[in-house]
Amino acid sequence: MIAGPLPLPACAGDPYPERRDDASGSGGPAAGWRVWWPSALRLRAYRRELALARARADEWHQLDAAAWGVRLRDLRARLMRDRRDAALRVEACAATESACRRVLGLRPFDNQWIAALVLLDGQLAEMATGEGKTLSAGLAAAVAALAGVPVHLMTANDYLVRRDAEMLAPLYEHLGLTSATVCAGDGDAVRRRAYRCDVVHATAREIVFDYLRDESNGARPSSALQGRLERLSGERPAPLLRGLHMALLDEADAILLDEARVPLILSAVRDDARHRALLWQSASLAAKLEAEVDYRLQPSQRSAVLSATGSARLAALAAAIEGTWLNARHREELVATALAARHLYARGRDYLVRDGEIVIIDPVTGRGAEGRQWSRGLHGLIALKEGCKPPPETETLNQITYQRFFPRYLRIGGMSGSLREVRGELAAVYGLGLVEVPLRLPSRRARLPRRLFARPAQFAEALAARVAALRAEGRAVLVGSASVAESLRISGWLGDAGVAHRVLNAEQSREEAMIVAEAGRPGSVTVATNMAGRGTDIRLDASVAAAGGLHVINCQLNRTRRLDRQLAGRCARQGDPGSAEHWLCLEDFRRGEEAASALLARLAGRISFHPGGRLAAVMVGAMLSLHQHRSERRERRERARMLAHDVFWEEQLLFGAHRFTGGWR
């Protein structure tokens, strides 16, 4: 067998298709023959299939417009009769390539088609940044939609949703397919029309919440039989979605892993004066307690623990307040949350204030997570700390995590530039295999030795000098930082040294595309938080490429190796020149949560070494490896705990008909 079959649409009698617990794995039976093949054998099979599709595409491309349309209608008719014929997938790919060349003026590269075929097989493709994931996803979506499979194509934010949909719309239209976008602020009528299209571009968050609304409103039946009976009786409300057929994920690791720890909660607003009073009282009482006497902070867990002295003092302070404050457990929980909000959540690192409201900063992307709120009164207490009006209390109607949601798709595929480190977890939780797509051109990225600085002042002086020297060479520079506050601190260092630069963080998210577009010009310096700007290309001017390309300086202590690779991947794309280096300060490790890392930092602080010497590189390598190994292990455990909690929530409250059966295949 050379080509796999196309994904099958759900049974026409099921009004809301999705995977049930007794269904096969995420990739479906059609993908099973590829999952266990070695990567080299799978790539060989994809190349053979691609060679056939290219030959057929040349035949398609020689047809005039009328003959092309007739042949397309004939192909779609054959697809509706038999989607199990592997040759039909080759023909559908040929038609899609021909359409791409006709209306977009693009001839997809081999690696883009290989990634698209991996997605069609319901697997994950590790594709380096800048290799053209947008077009690969569009090719896969078009081929699947030709077979009658509705596709949800998900990306990082609304800007990228609109950009990708606009770019790919002519391709879909030429193939006789419909497409639409779903973005924040769209009404139910707009969403319902969009989901009736063949291809829908949206963020994962929007689709998950629409699924939860369907479930809470009773629009999503618990079984196909129930749906048919309710449809005949006219009792079931019209759903927003039309089921979970096929999902294609851009930056799949961010969605499936990094954001998997955040429960998505559908809630209803309940403006309660009593709730606001509790927040005020909690904040007031917390301000009267003394650190290390009445309470102890636990930064690693973002919590505060009252001592016996603190519990007694709190009881005395709250004695005059009635209601909830008479219960020892409730008052201690409220005040502990207020202490955490007061001391453990920092503006510029965890949140920012925008238009009088608290906006959470996504720790993965560095972007503002509009609409997201902390629970248990924490969001309101932080608002009080910043002098903002607390948001109204909310009542939870339904919730789910990505770990529970995505296995419900009949087929799911995804792409990212950093998946190999987590392939085991992705296979265990989602049943997804991984194919590493080769680069189109050999990489020209130069990796420079790591540098370790003893003091922040030494770090600041060296960074400003390094950036100024690179600017003088005509290079473009990207400096990666860990948080909004850290990006502003680095900006201050560069400003004091007279180095012109731009800052890209959650506060500038609305100007993100413009800042990124200018980041490849000669002498441009961009200070960016974490992965702000991820998903958009930094295009180099010819003179910058001639001078050596974009230079990336990673100044952040990342939790995982994937984040380091993602930032370095911003330079030297598609055969362009570029270089990357990693700079850290001992203070980064001293503030860390791992005792072993802090011990190594103290040891390094007692050793006299040059920041760029061999000893410094060895020390920073050891500390970084230890820190990231422990952080990755802790995050895996946290995701497993969140999955177990989500299962418990669903089973206890009887939301939906899904039941946990011991693990996801």
For residue 665, the model assigns a pLDDT of 24
Choose between 114 and 558: higher pLDDT.
Answer: 114
- Reduced to 3 states, what is the DSSP secondary structure of residue 210? helix
Tokens for 84, please give them. Answer: 């199990």
Amino acid, single-letter form, for residue 206: E
For the stretch 567-591, pLDDT in tens is 898 899 888 999 999 998 888 777 6
For residue 507, the model assigns a pLDDT of 66
Tokens for 448, please give them. Answer: 């420079």
Is residue 233 predicted with pLDDT exceeding 60? Answer: no
Average pLDDT over residues 183-190: 92
Cβ atoms of 245 and 17 closer than 8 Å = yes
CA distance 444 to 442: 6
Percent of the chain residues past pLDDT 70, beyond the cut: 84
Total Cβ atoms within 10 A of residue 315: 14
CA distance 242 to 161: 20
Average pLDDT over residues 321-336: 89
CA distance 263 to 516: 31
Cβ atoms of 408 and 658 closer than 8 Å = yes
- The DSSP annotation for 314-367 comes to HHHHTTT--GGGGSHHHHHHHHHHHHHHHHT--BTTTEEEETTEEEEEPTTT-S
For residue 350, the model assigns a pLDDT of 87
Average pLDDT over residues 345-363: 86
Is residue 362 predicted with pLDDT exceeding 50? Answer: yes
Q: What is the mean pLDDT of the chain?
A: 84
What sign does the CA torsion over 20, 22, 26, 28 have? negative
For the stretch 261-313, pLDDT in tens is 778 888 777 667 788 888 999 999 999 999 999 999 988 788 999 999 999 99
Cβ atoms of 527 and 602 closer than 8 Å = no
Residue of 494, 286, 264 lying closest to 378 (CA atoms)? 286
Total Cβ atoms within 10 A of residue 539: 16
For residue 13, the model assigns a pLDDT of 58
Q: Which strand (E) or helix (H) includes residue 398?
A: strand 393-400
Query: Which pairing describes strands 411-416 and 246-249: parallel, antiparallel, or unpaired?
Result: parallel
CA distance 336 to 338: 5
Most confident of 109-123, 260-274, 354-368, 447-461: 109-123
Most confident of 192-201, 520-529, 636-645: 192-201
Which has the minimum average pLDDT: 205-219, 420-434, 510-524?
Answer: 510-524
147: Cβ contacts below 8 Å, ≥ 6 apart: 6, 7, 8, 9, 79, 83, 88, 92
Is residue 544 predicted with pLDDT exceeding 70? Answer: yes
Tokens for 119, please give them. Answer: 């997605």
- The DSSP annotation for 109-165 comes to -HHHHHHHHHHHTT-EEE--TTS-HHHHHHHHHHHHHHTT--EEEEESSHHHHHHHH
End-to-end CA gap in the chain: 24
CA distance 228 to 11: 12
477: Cβ contacts below 8 Å, ≥ 6 apart: 467, 470, 471, 524, 525, 526, 550, 551, 552, 553
For residue 236, the model assigns a pLDDT of 64
Amino acid, single-letter form, for residue 124: L
Residue with tokens 């909310």: 394
Residue with tokens 């902070």: 297
Choose between 267 and 540: higher pLDDT.
Answer: 540
For residue 22, the model assigns a pLDDT of 39
Amino acid, single-letter form, for residue 519: A
Q: What is the pTM of this model?
A: 0.85
Distances (CA, A) of 558 to 75, 377, 480, 624, 654: 49, 29, 10, 9, 39
For residue 510, the model assigns a pLDDT of 57
Residue of 141, 34, 64, 655 lying closest to 397 (CA atoms)? 655
CA distance 570 to 563: 11
Q: Which strand (E) or helix (H) includes residue 493?
A: helix 484-496
Task: Decide: residue 663, CB within 10 A, 0-12 exposed, 13-18 middle, 19+ buried.
Answer: exposed
Amino acid, single-letter form, for residue 252: A
CA distance 436 to 137: 16
For the stretch 25-69, pLDDT in tens is 344 433 444 455 667 788 898 999 999 999 999 999 999 999 999
For residue 643, the model assigns a pLDDT of 82
581: Cβ contacts below 8 Å, ≥ 6 apart: 447, 448, 449, 450, 451, 551, 552, 553, 554
Tokens for 80, please give them. Answer: 């509706």
Average pLDDT over residues 152-168: 92
For residue 37, the model assigns a pLDDT of 61
Average pLDDT over residues 505-511: 64
Query: Which pairing describes strands 357-361 and 351-354: parallel, antiparallel, or unpaired?
Result: antiparallel
For residue 375, the model assigns a pLDDT of 80
Query: Where do the domains of the chain lie, and which CATH numbers do they carry?
Result: 29-264+402-436 (3.40.50.300), 272-391 (3.90.1440.10), 444-630 (3.40.50.300)
Distances (CA, A) of 588 to 449, 545, 601, 627: 18, 33, 9, 11
Average pLDDT over residues 192-212: 96
DSSP 8-state secondary structure symbol assigned to residue 411 = E
Choose between 514 and 545: higher pLDDT.
Answer: 545
Q: Helices (DSSP H) in 196-250: which residue ranges? A: 204-216, 224-233
Average pLDDT over residues 423-429: 89
pLDDT band at residue 656 under the 50/70/90 scheme: very low
Cβ atoms of 144 and 6 closer than 8 Å = yes
Is residue 605 predicted with pLDDT exceeding 80? Answer: no
